[in-house]
Amino acid sequence: MKLAVLAGDGIGPEVTAQALRVLDALRLPRLTIWHGDVGGAGYRRHGHPLPPETLEMAKAADAVLFGAVGDPDCDALERRLRPEQAILGLRRELGLFANLRPARMFDGLEDLSALRPEIARRIDLLIVRELNGDVYFGEKGMRRTADGRREGWDAMSYAEDEVRRIARTGFAAAASRKGRLTSVDKANVLETSQLWRDVMVETAAEFPEIALDHLYVDNAAMQLVKDPGQFDVIVTGNLFGDILSDQASMCVGSIGLLPSAALGERQTEHGIFGLYEPIHGSAPDIAGQGGANPLAAILSAAMMLRHSFGREDDAARVEQAVARTLASGIRGYDLGGQAGTLAIGDAVLANL
Ligand code: NAD
Ligand code: IPM
Ligand code: MN
Protein backbone atom coordinates (compact mmCIF):
# COMPACT_ATOMS: atom_id res chain seq x y z
CA MET A 1 0.00 0.00 0.00
CA LYS A 2 1.50 3.27 -1.15
CA LEU A 3 0.36 6.43 0.60
CA ALA A 4 1.15 9.98 -0.53
CA VAL A 5 0.95 12.45 2.35
CA LEU A 6 0.40 16.05 1.27
CA ALA A 7 0.16 18.04 4.48
CA GLY A 8 0.12 21.53 2.94
CA ASP A 9 -0.25 24.79 4.84
CA GLY A 10 -1.31 26.21 8.19
CA ILE A 11 -2.85 23.57 10.44
CA GLY A 12 -2.64 21.00 7.62
CA PRO A 13 0.71 19.58 8.82
CA GLU A 14 -0.39 19.80 12.48
CA VAL A 15 -3.52 17.69 12.08
CA THR A 16 -1.98 15.33 9.51
CA ALA A 17 0.81 14.48 11.95
CA GLN A 18 -1.79 13.11 14.37
CA ALA A 19 -3.47 11.06 11.65
CA LEU A 20 -0.05 9.58 10.81
CA ARG A 21 0.54 8.65 14.46
CA VAL A 22 -2.74 6.73 14.38
CA LEU A 23 -1.78 4.93 11.15
CA ASP A 24 1.61 4.12 12.64
CA ALA A 25 -0.03 2.60 15.72
CA LEU A 26 -2.03 0.24 13.50
CA ARG A 27 1.23 -1.31 12.23
CA LEU A 28 -0.17 -1.82 8.74
CA PRO A 29 1.79 -4.40 6.80
CA ARG A 30 3.54 -3.29 3.60
CA LEU A 31 2.70 0.42 3.96
CA THR A 32 5.03 2.83 2.16
CA ILE A 33 4.63 6.53 2.95
CA TRP A 34 5.79 9.36 0.69
CA HIS A 35 5.64 13.08 1.51
CA GLY A 36 5.05 15.82 -1.06
CA ASP A 37 4.77 19.60 -1.13
CA VAL A 38 1.48 21.31 -1.98
CA GLY A 39 -0.19 24.66 -1.60
CA GLY A 40 1.74 27.69 -0.38
CA ALA A 41 4.50 25.30 0.69
CA GLY A 42 4.63 23.91 -2.86
CA TYR A 43 4.73 27.39 -4.31
CA ARG A 44 7.58 28.50 -2.06
CA ARG A 45 9.74 25.42 -2.67
CA HIS A 46 8.96 24.73 -6.32
CA GLY A 47 7.25 27.83 -7.69
CA HIS A 48 3.90 26.06 -8.09
CA PRO A 49 1.13 25.04 -5.64
CA LEU A 50 0.89 21.62 -7.30
CA PRO A 51 4.44 20.82 -8.41
CA PRO A 52 4.64 18.14 -11.15
CA GLU A 53 6.57 15.79 -8.85
CA THR A 54 3.76 16.01 -6.28
CA LEU A 55 1.14 15.20 -8.90
CA GLU A 56 3.22 12.24 -10.11
CA MET A 57 3.59 11.02 -6.53
CA ALA A 58 -0.17 11.20 -6.01
CA LYS A 59 -0.79 9.32 -9.25
CA ALA A 60 1.64 6.56 -8.27
CA ALA A 61 0.04 6.09 -4.84
CA ASP A 62 -2.98 4.00 -3.78
CA ALA A 63 -4.28 6.87 -1.67
CA VAL A 64 -3.54 10.48 -0.78
CA LEU A 65 -3.81 11.83 2.75
CA PHE A 66 -4.26 15.57 2.39
CA GLY A 67 -4.03 18.21 5.11
CA ALA A 68 -5.11 21.65 3.92
CA VAL A 69 -3.93 24.39 1.61
CA GLY A 70 -4.33 28.13 1.88
CA ASP A 71 -2.03 30.94 2.87
CA PRO A 72 -3.04 34.59 3.24
CA ASP A 73 0.39 35.63 1.94
CA CYS A 74 -0.48 33.99 -1.38
CA ASP A 75 -3.94 35.53 -1.83
CA ALA A 76 -2.65 38.27 -4.13
CA LEU A 77 -0.91 35.85 -6.53
CA GLU A 78 -2.49 35.26 -9.90
CA ARG A 79 -5.15 32.61 -9.46
CA ARG A 80 -3.26 29.72 -11.11
CA LEU A 81 -0.49 30.08 -8.51
CA ARG A 82 -2.69 30.28 -5.42
CA PRO A 83 -2.53 27.40 -2.91
CA GLU A 84 -6.17 26.38 -3.48
CA GLN A 85 -5.27 25.39 -7.05
CA ALA A 86 -3.40 22.41 -5.59
CA ILE A 87 -6.49 20.71 -4.22
CA LEU A 88 -8.59 21.69 -7.23
CA GLY A 89 -5.88 20.38 -9.57
CA LEU A 90 -5.57 17.08 -7.69
CA ARG A 91 -9.34 16.50 -7.72
CA ARG A 92 -9.47 17.22 -11.41
CA GLU A 93 -6.26 15.47 -12.56
CA LEU A 94 -7.02 12.38 -10.51
CA GLY A 95 -10.65 12.19 -11.65
CA LEU A 96 -11.95 12.40 -8.09
CA PHE A 97 -15.54 13.38 -8.80
CA ALA A 98 -17.32 12.00 -5.75
CA ASN A 99 -16.79 13.67 -2.39
CA LEU A 100 -18.25 11.87 0.62
CA ARG A 101 -18.67 14.14 3.64
CA PRO A 102 -20.33 12.29 6.54
CA ALA A 103 -21.67 14.19 9.56
CA ARG A 104 -22.98 12.37 12.60
CA MET A 105 -23.51 13.32 16.19
CA PHE A 106 -21.03 11.80 18.62
CA ASP A 107 -22.29 10.75 22.06
CA GLY A 108 -21.54 13.51 24.52
CA LEU A 109 -21.39 16.37 22.02
CA GLU A 110 -25.14 17.06 21.88
CA ASP A 111 -24.79 20.14 24.07
CA LEU A 112 -21.95 21.52 21.95
CA SER A 113 -23.87 21.68 18.68
CA ALA A 114 -24.82 25.11 17.41
CA LEU A 115 -28.35 23.64 17.48
CA ARG A 116 -30.44 22.66 20.48
CA PRO A 117 -29.44 19.19 21.74
CA GLU A 118 -32.80 17.59 21.01
CA ILE A 119 -32.44 18.71 17.38
CA ALA A 120 -28.77 17.82 17.06
CA ARG A 121 -29.08 14.37 18.63
CA ARG A 122 -30.51 12.72 15.52
CA ILE A 123 -27.88 13.85 13.01
CA ASP A 124 -26.48 11.03 10.90
CA LEU A 125 -26.16 12.19 7.34
CA LEU A 126 -23.86 11.94 4.37
CA ILE A 127 -23.29 14.74 1.90
CA VAL A 128 -22.31 13.42 -1.53
CA ARG A 129 -20.75 16.42 -3.23
CA GLU A 130 -19.84 16.47 -6.93
CA LEU A 131 -16.21 17.51 -7.15
CA ASN A 132 -15.11 17.80 -10.78
CA GLY A 133 -17.52 20.28 -12.32
CA ASP A 134 -19.93 23.15 -11.70
CA VAL A 135 -18.91 26.80 -11.47
CA TYR A 136 -15.60 25.66 -9.94
CA PHE A 137 -14.21 24.41 -13.23
CA GLY A 138 -16.02 26.53 -15.82
CA GLU A 139 -14.44 29.32 -17.75
CA LYS A 140 -13.92 32.47 -15.74
CA GLY A 141 -12.37 35.83 -16.12
CA MET A 142 -12.30 39.55 -15.55
CA ARG A 143 -13.47 41.86 -18.30
CA ARG A 144 -14.80 45.30 -19.02
CA THR A 145 -18.40 45.97 -19.87
CA ALA A 146 -19.14 48.08 -22.96
CA ASP A 147 -19.41 51.13 -20.72
CA GLY A 148 -16.09 50.41 -19.03
CA ARG A 149 -17.10 48.83 -15.72
CA ARG A 150 -15.00 45.91 -14.40
CA GLU A 151 -16.88 42.61 -14.49
CA GLY A 152 -15.91 39.24 -13.00
CA TRP A 153 -17.58 36.17 -14.50
CA ASP A 154 -17.65 32.42 -13.89
CA ALA A 155 -19.49 29.92 -16.06
CA MET A 156 -21.62 27.31 -14.25
CA SER A 157 -22.43 24.11 -16.13
CA TYR A 158 -22.96 20.39 -15.74
CA ALA A 159 -23.05 17.84 -18.55
CA GLU A 160 -25.49 14.95 -18.15
CA ASP A 161 -22.82 12.27 -17.77
CA GLU A 162 -21.23 14.27 -14.95
CA VAL A 163 -24.57 14.41 -13.15
CA ARG A 164 -25.39 10.75 -13.85
CA ARG A 165 -22.21 9.38 -12.30
CA ILE A 166 -22.59 11.40 -9.08
CA ALA A 167 -26.30 10.51 -9.01
CA ARG A 168 -25.31 6.82 -9.05
CA THR A 169 -22.85 7.44 -6.21
CA GLY A 170 -25.63 9.11 -4.24
CA PHE A 171 -28.18 6.34 -4.87
CA ALA A 172 -25.64 3.63 -4.06
CA ALA A 173 -24.71 5.41 -0.82
CA ALA A 174 -28.38 5.67 0.13
CA ALA A 175 -28.79 1.96 -0.62
CA SER A 176 -26.05 1.14 1.90
CA ARG A 177 -27.66 3.41 4.53
CA LYS A 178 -31.34 4.21 5.22
CA GLY A 179 -32.51 4.27 1.60
CA ARG A 180 -33.32 7.98 1.38
CA LEU A 181 -31.71 10.40 -1.07
CA THR A 182 -32.27 14.16 -1.14
CA SER A 183 -31.04 15.96 -4.22
CA VAL A 184 -30.27 19.64 -3.64
CA ASP A 185 -30.31 22.14 -6.49
CA LYS A 186 -31.57 25.55 -7.58
CA ALA A 187 -33.73 24.36 -10.46
CA ASN A 188 -36.18 27.21 -9.95
CA VAL A 189 -33.53 29.60 -11.30
CA LEU A 190 -30.59 27.76 -12.91
CA GLU A 191 -30.54 25.69 -16.11
CA THR A 192 -27.55 23.82 -14.67
CA SER A 193 -29.82 22.72 -11.85
CA GLN A 194 -32.75 21.86 -14.13
CA LEU A 195 -30.54 19.36 -15.94
CA TRP A 196 -29.28 18.14 -12.55
CA ARG A 197 -32.84 17.48 -11.40
CA ASP A 198 -33.89 15.83 -14.68
CA VAL A 199 -30.94 13.42 -14.55
CA MET A 200 -31.58 12.63 -10.88
CA VAL A 201 -35.15 11.66 -11.76
CA GLU A 202 -33.97 9.56 -14.73
CA THR A 203 -31.35 7.79 -12.63
CA ALA A 204 -33.92 7.00 -9.93
CA ALA A 205 -35.35 4.36 -12.30
CA GLU A 206 -32.15 2.33 -11.77
CA PHE A 207 -32.69 2.38 -8.00
CA PRO A 208 -36.40 1.68 -7.37
CA GLU A 209 -35.80 0.86 -3.70
CA ILE A 210 -34.49 4.37 -2.93
CA ALA A 211 -36.81 7.22 -1.93
CA LEU A 212 -35.67 10.32 -3.84
CA ASP A 213 -36.79 13.83 -3.05
CA HIS A 214 -35.60 17.29 -4.10
CA LEU A 215 -34.94 20.49 -2.22
CA TYR A 216 -33.90 23.90 -3.43
CA VAL A 217 -30.61 24.81 -1.84
CA ASP A 218 -31.98 27.74 0.16
CA ASN A 219 -34.61 25.49 1.71
CA ALA A 220 -32.00 22.76 2.24
CA ALA A 221 -29.84 25.19 4.23
CA MET A 222 -32.87 26.05 6.34
CA GLN A 223 -33.93 22.39 6.84
CA LEU A 224 -30.38 21.49 7.84
CA VAL A 225 -30.69 23.63 10.95
CA LYS A 226 -34.42 23.12 11.50
CA ASP A 227 -34.37 19.31 11.49
CA PRO A 228 -31.08 17.76 10.29
CA GLY A 229 -32.27 14.35 11.50
CA GLN A 230 -34.59 14.17 8.47
CA PHE A 231 -31.62 13.64 6.13
CA ASP A 232 -29.96 10.39 5.17
CA VAL A 233 -27.95 11.11 2.01
CA ILE A 234 -27.80 14.52 0.36
CA VAL A 235 -26.46 14.66 -3.21
CA THR A 236 -25.54 18.04 -4.61
CA GLY A 237 -23.22 20.01 -6.84
CA ASN A 238 -19.75 21.26 -6.13
CA LEU A 239 -20.60 24.74 -4.85
CA PHE A 240 -23.72 23.89 -2.85
CA GLY A 241 -21.95 20.88 -1.32
CA ASP A 242 -19.04 23.02 -0.23
CA ILE A 243 -21.32 25.40 1.63
CA LEU A 244 -23.75 22.87 3.11
CA SER A 245 -20.94 20.68 4.46
CA ASP A 246 -19.39 23.52 6.48
CA GLN A 247 -22.87 24.23 7.82
CA ALA A 248 -23.42 20.57 8.70
CA SER A 249 -20.15 20.57 10.63
CA MET A 250 -21.42 23.14 13.11
CA CYS A 251 -24.61 21.16 13.52
CA VAL A 252 -22.50 18.36 15.02
CA GLY A 253 -20.28 20.72 16.99
CA SER A 254 -17.23 21.78 15.00
CA ILE A 255 -15.65 21.89 11.58
CA GLY A 256 -12.74 20.13 13.25
CA LEU A 257 -14.80 16.92 13.27
CA LEU A 258 -15.74 16.39 9.62
CA PRO A 259 -13.64 14.10 7.39
CA SER A 260 -14.01 13.52 3.68
CA ALA A 261 -13.17 11.08 0.94
CA ALA A 262 -12.74 12.13 -2.69
CA LEU A 263 -13.19 9.11 -4.93
CA GLY A 264 -13.06 8.38 -8.62
CA GLU A 265 -13.22 5.17 -10.61
CA ARG A 266 -9.66 3.85 -10.45
CA GLN A 267 -9.37 0.55 -8.63
CA THR A 268 -6.30 -0.27 -6.59
CA GLU A 269 -5.08 -3.56 -5.21
CA HIS A 270 -7.20 -3.32 -2.07
CA GLY A 271 -9.98 -0.92 -2.98
CA ILE A 272 -10.49 2.33 -4.79
CA PHE A 273 -8.02 5.17 -5.23
CA GLY A 274 -8.97 8.19 -3.13
CA LEU A 275 -7.88 11.46 -1.58
CA TYR A 276 -8.77 11.94 2.07
CA GLU A 277 -8.90 15.26 3.85
CA PRO A 278 -10.70 17.14 6.58
CA ILE A 279 -13.36 19.45 5.17
CA HIS A 280 -11.77 22.41 6.94
CA GLY A 281 -8.99 24.60 5.59
CA SER A 282 -5.58 25.75 6.76
CA ALA A 283 -7.09 27.93 9.53
CA PRO A 284 -4.40 30.63 9.48
CA ASP A 285 -6.02 32.26 12.51
CA ILE A 286 -5.00 29.36 14.77
CA ALA A 287 -2.03 27.84 12.86
CA GLY A 288 1.21 27.31 14.76
CA GLN A 289 -0.44 27.38 18.19
CA GLY A 290 -0.93 23.64 18.66
CA GLY A 291 -4.66 24.08 19.16
CA ALA A 292 -6.22 22.66 16.01
CA ASN A 293 -8.59 19.74 16.39
CA PRO A 294 -7.05 16.74 14.56
CA LEU A 295 -10.13 14.52 14.70
CA ALA A 296 -11.31 15.40 11.18
CA ALA A 297 -7.89 14.39 9.86
CA ILE A 298 -7.89 11.18 11.92
CA LEU A 299 -11.40 10.31 10.73
CA SER A 300 -10.25 10.99 7.16
CA ALA A 301 -7.51 8.41 7.65
CA ALA A 302 -10.21 5.98 8.80
CA MET A 303 -12.13 6.59 5.58
CA MET A 304 -8.91 5.88 3.70
CA LEU A 305 -8.47 2.56 5.50
CA ARG A 306 -12.01 1.62 4.51
CA HIS A 307 -12.17 2.75 0.89
CA SER A 308 -8.60 2.52 -0.41
CA PHE A 309 -6.90 -0.07 1.78
CA GLY A 310 -9.77 -2.52 2.27
CA ARG A 311 -9.28 -2.49 6.04
CA GLU A 312 -12.77 -2.06 7.40
CA ASP A 313 -11.80 -3.44 10.81
CA ASP A 314 -9.02 -0.90 11.25
CA ALA A 315 -11.30 1.90 10.02
CA ALA A 316 -13.92 0.95 12.59
CA ARG A 317 -11.28 0.73 15.34
CA VAL A 318 -10.10 4.26 14.61
CA GLU A 319 -13.67 5.58 14.53
CA GLN A 320 -14.42 3.88 17.84
CA ALA A 321 -11.26 5.35 19.37
CA VAL A 322 -12.41 8.81 18.29
CA ALA A 323 -15.92 8.23 19.65
CA ARG A 324 -14.48 7.02 22.96
CA THR A 325 -12.15 10.00 23.16
CA LEU A 326 -15.08 12.37 22.81
CA ALA A 327 -17.30 10.32 25.15
CA SER A 328 -14.57 10.50 27.80
CA GLY A 329 -14.84 14.29 27.79
CA ILE A 330 -11.71 15.22 25.80
CA ARG A 331 -12.56 18.45 23.99
CA GLY A 332 -10.51 20.66 21.70
CA TYR A 333 -10.61 24.45 21.94
CA ASP A 334 -13.08 24.44 19.06
CA LEU A 335 -15.50 22.56 21.31
CA GLY A 336 -14.92 24.83 24.28
CA GLY A 337 -12.40 22.46 25.88
CA GLN A 338 -8.77 22.49 26.96
CA ALA A 339 -7.16 19.79 24.81
CA GLY A 340 -4.63 20.81 22.19
CA THR A 341 -3.76 18.95 19.00
CA LEU A 342 -1.20 16.66 20.61
CA ALA A 343 -3.34 15.88 23.66
CA ILE A 344 -6.24 14.87 21.43
CA GLY A 345 -3.89 12.68 19.38
CA ASP A 346 -2.59 11.09 22.60
CA ALA A 347 -6.13 10.35 23.76
CA VAL A 348 -7.10 8.72 20.46
CA LEU A 349 -3.96 6.56 20.58
CA ALA A 350 -4.72 5.54 24.16
CA ASN A 351 -8.27 4.57 23.19
CA LEU A 352 -7.00 2.72 20.14
P1 NAD B 1 -10.99 27.23 7.59
O2 NAD B 1 -11.77 25.98 7.52
O3 NAD B 1 -9.54 27.12 7.43
O4 NAD B 1 -11.27 27.92 9.00
C5 NAD B 1 -12.56 28.40 9.36
C6 NAD B 1 -12.63 28.60 10.88
O7 NAD B 1 -12.67 27.31 11.50
C8 NAD B 1 -11.42 29.31 11.46
O9 NAD B 1 -11.83 30.13 12.52
C10 NAD B 1 -10.55 28.16 11.97
O11 NAD B 1 -9.71 28.51 13.03
C12 NAD B 1 -11.59 27.12 12.37
N13 NAD B 1 -11.06 25.75 12.19
C14 NAD B 1 -10.89 25.12 11.01
N15 NAD B 1 -10.38 23.91 11.21
C16 NAD B 1 -10.23 23.76 12.54
C17 NAD B 1 -9.74 22.70 13.36
N18 NAD B 1 -9.29 21.54 12.86
N19 NAD B 1 -9.71 22.90 14.70
C20 NAD B 1 -10.16 24.05 15.24
N21 NAD B 1 -10.64 25.08 14.51
C22 NAD B 1 -10.67 24.94 13.17
O23 NAD B 1 -11.65 28.23 6.52
P24 NAD B 1 -11.16 29.71 6.06
O25 NAD B 1 -10.65 30.46 7.23
O26 NAD B 1 -12.27 30.23 5.28
O27 NAD B 1 -9.97 29.42 5.05
C28 NAD B 1 -8.58 29.47 5.40
C29 NAD B 1 -7.76 29.02 4.22
O30 NAD B 1 -7.98 27.63 3.99
C31 NAD B 1 -8.13 29.72 2.91
O32 NAD B 1 -6.96 29.94 2.20
C33 NAD B 1 -9.01 28.72 2.20
O34 NAD B 1 -8.99 28.86 0.80
C35 NAD B 1 -8.37 27.42 2.63
N36 NAD B 1 -9.23 26.24 2.59
C37 NAD B 1 -8.64 25.07 2.17
C38 NAD B 1 -9.34 23.88 2.21
C39 NAD B 1 -8.66 22.64 1.73
O40 NAD B 1 -7.44 22.59 1.69
N41 NAD B 1 -9.37 21.60 1.35
C42 NAD B 1 -10.65 23.86 2.71
C43 NAD B 1 -11.22 25.06 3.15
C44 NAD B 1 -10.50 26.24 3.10
C1 IPM C 1 -13.10 22.47 0.55
C2 IPM C 1 -12.49 23.81 0.25
C3 IPM C 1 -12.08 23.93 -1.20
C4 IPM C 1 -13.36 23.88 -2.02
C5 IPM C 1 -11.27 25.17 -1.58
C6 IPM C 1 -10.04 25.33 -0.76
C7 IPM C 1 -10.88 25.14 -3.04
O8 IPM C 1 -13.33 24.83 0.67
O9 IPM C 1 -12.44 21.44 0.29
O10 IPM C 1 -14.21 22.42 1.06
O11 IPM C 1 -14.02 24.91 -2.22
O12 IPM C 1 -13.69 22.79 -2.48
MN1 MN D 1 -15.02 24.15 1.82
Q: For residue 24, what pLDDT is reported?
A: 98
Residue 246 CA, ligand 3 centroid: distance in Å: 6
Is-catalytic flag, 246? Answer: yes
pLDDT for 312-335, tens place per residue?
999 999 999 999 999 999 999 999
Q: Catalytic: which of 134, 242, 314, 334?
A: 242
Q: List strand residue ranges (DSSP E) for 171-308, in order.
A: 180-185, 211-216, 233-236, 259-267, 272-278
- Residue segments in the chain with a per-residue pLDDT below the cut of 70: none
Is-catalytic flag, 285? Answer: no
Q: For residue 112, what pLDDT is reported?
A: 97
Please state the atom number of ligand 2 nearest to the C-alpha of residue 246: 10
Q: For residue 342, what pLDDT is reported?
A: 98
Contact 120, 103 (CB under 8 A): no
Residue 87 CA, ligand 2 centroid: distance in Å: 8
Please state the atom number of ligand 1 nearest to the C-alpha of residue 295: 18
The model carries a pTM of 0.98
Among protein residues, the one with the nearest Cα to ligand 1's atom 29 is: 70
Contact 157, 170 (CB under 8 A): no
Q: For residue 184, what pLDDT is reported?
A: 99
Q: For residue 252, what pLDDT is reported?
A: 98
Q: Catalytic: which of 59, 124, 216, 246?
A: 246
Rounded Cα distance, 122 and 100, in Å: 19
Q: Provide the CATH number for the domain formed by 124-251 in this structure.
A: 3.40.718.10
| Cβ neighbours around 352 below 10 Å, total | 18
Q: For residue 99, what pLDDT is reported?
A: 98
Residue 252 CA, ligand 2 centroid: distance in Å: 20
Q: Catalytic: which of 75, 218, 227, 313?
A: 218
Is-catalytic flag, 218? Answer: yes
Q: Catalytic: which of 136, 158, 276, 333?
A: 136
**Whose atoms come closest to the Cα of 12: which ligand?**
1
Q: For residue 58, what pLDDT is reported?
A: 98
Share of residues in the chain with pLDDT > 90 (%): 100
Is-catalytic flag, 232? Answer: no
Q: What's the CATH superfamily of 1-99+253-352?
A: Isopropylmalate Dehydrogenase (3.40.718.10)
Residue 238 CA, ligand 3 centroid: distance in Å: 10
Q: For residue 28, what pLDDT is reported?
A: 96
Which residues of the chain form CATH 3.40.718.10? Answer: 1-99+253-352, 124-251
Rounded Cα distance, 262 and 101, in Å: 9
Is-catalytic flag, 186? Answer: yes
Which helix (H) or strand (E) covers residue 66, if one does? strand 63-68
Residue 280 CA, ligand 2 centroid: distance in Å: 8
Cβ of 232 closer than 6 Å to ligand 2, yes or no, is no
Write the CA distances from 170 to 94, 97, 108, 212, integer angstroms.
20, 12, 29, 10
Probe target for ligand 1 pocket from 5, 71, 84, 280, with the most ligand atoms within 8 Å of CB: 280
